[in-house]
Chains A and B, each alone.
Chain A
């Protein structure tokens, strides 16, 4: 291994170790499945490693965030349609054995893959609104309204739960 590739590997490893917790969580927020999240992060980071020279110059965090969301959307497109009787409960996280539940997970659960990507990229990964719109092929208004609708739905769900709790 040359000194150059050693240096490249060292930089990449430092980046991975620093980015890992947030990236891994972002993947879980997208996929709601620990195994799929693991695969998504592996895919995004492997792509980053393969292009590390350029990625490093252009901004590694920005690149890997985009790669993660692209991988998630691409994975969703490749899934074959599932017969309706086999569909999991849309409001339930698919795998909570490792990841904690949270209000954010709850907010994202009923959203479509594209809506989840919008919210995670914009708010969790702190991507500028116009970049999210450009990357996902939607208008800036859609970025805002997606989060707003999701919040309204979450509030409604909480209100419903509160009412049921009060009635008991």
Chain B
């Protein structure tokens, strides 16, 4: 049977033909897409360190801004100090800001920041973020941040860099509008921190970001491990939603081409298989 199957399948494949009547590949677009991925991976490179310094970084930000609005909308560079505490996850918010006036994205000024990992392109935010700015990593002199912004009247979650009192919008990983109750939208969670497609994933890590409607408490677990709180979360980033992120070591044996095999659980006992939901662009 096997031989027959192989022969028949080989005949079907031979009778098929490659796509010759489709448009030629857009090489510039492919390279641009690849470079964006490199930038995103590099952008996330600071996050591994932040697992350790996260508490200190957040504390510094709270010292600067606390829960009170700042005039400029974002905190000054919190300059995280070396870790003085255990890497216990924290969900403390960083900075709270006022509402944002809608502004079409095409009017945003292009910007570029030089980091030790290369130039990062984006657009400078012209309006304050919708709410808190969560620091999820560090890229040289700049904080890598998650914040809410208005895109054509729709609230979106933005990954960007903070340069002093300015925010550079780098990309939009998630758009929470339309999420139903109990839905969880996820982005990334793939292997970061190592070049290429490594066989040995020692030293690698993941950075998962997500959003859900309402006030939700998340815990997360890897196979064979006890659930723990996610690294950070806040209900103040985008009104009506909980935004969270989680950073962790890439365990040996996890497939480097797939997302981390994590299970996310909400306080309403909703369980989400991260691999089933997350994506990367």
**Chain A residues near B (Cβ < 8 Å):** 9, 12-13, 16-17, 20-22, 24-25, 28-29, 34, 38, 41-43, 45-55, 57-58, 63, 66-67, 70, 74-75, 77-78, 98-100, 102-105, 107, 119, 122-124, 144, 147-148, 151
B12 and chain A: residue at smallest CB distance: A104
**Alpha-carbon gap, A92 to B195, bound state (A):** 42
A75 to B276, CA, bound (A): 9
In contact, A24 and B257 (Cβ under 8 angstroms): no
B267 contacts chain A at the CB level, 8 A cutoff: no
Closest Cβ neighbor of A16 among chain B residues: B25
The contact of B16 among A13, A25, A67, by CB within 8 Å, is A25
B30 touches A42 (CB 8 A): yes
- Classify the interface of chain A: helix, strand, loop or mixed: helix
Complex Cα spacing A151 to B2, Å:
12
Tell me the nearest residue of chain A to B279, going by C-beta. Answer: A78
B27 within 8 A of A: yes
Check B277 for interface membership: any CB of A closer than 8 A: yes
Chain A positions within 8 Å of B275 at CB level:
74, 77
Assembled-state Cα–Cα distance A107/B257 (Å): 28
Contact between chains at A20 and B25 (CB < 8 Å) = yes
Asked if A51 meets B197 with Cβ closer than 8 Å, knowing A9-B31, A102-B16, the reply is yes
Q: Is B82 an interface residue (CB 8 A)?
A: no
Quote the shortest CB–CB distance from A6 to chain B (angstroms): 11
Separation of A67 and B277 alpha carbons in the complex (Å):
17
Per the 8 Å Cβ criterion, residues 210-260 of B in contact with A are: 257-259
The answer, yes or no, to whether B107 is at the interface (CB within 8 Å) is: no
A122 to B9 alpha-carbon distance, docked (Å): 10
Distance between A49 CB and nearest chain B CB, rounded to angstroms: 3
Q: Is B181 an interface position by the 8 A CB rule?
A: no
25 A/B residue pairs, CB under 8 Å, sorted by A: A16-B27, A21-B18, A25-B16, A25-B17, A29-B16, A41-B25, A42-B30, A45-B25, A49-B33, A51-B197, A54-B195, A54-B197, A55-B197, A57-B196, A67-B257, A74-B275, A75-B279, A77-B275, A98-B22, A102-B15, A102-B16, A103-B15, A104-B16, A151-B8, A151-B9
Residues of B near A16 (CB, < 8 A) are: 25, 27, 30
Task: Write the nearest CB–CB distance from A79 to chain B, whole angstroms.
Answer: 11
Taking CB atoms, residues of chain B closer than 8 Å to A17 are 25
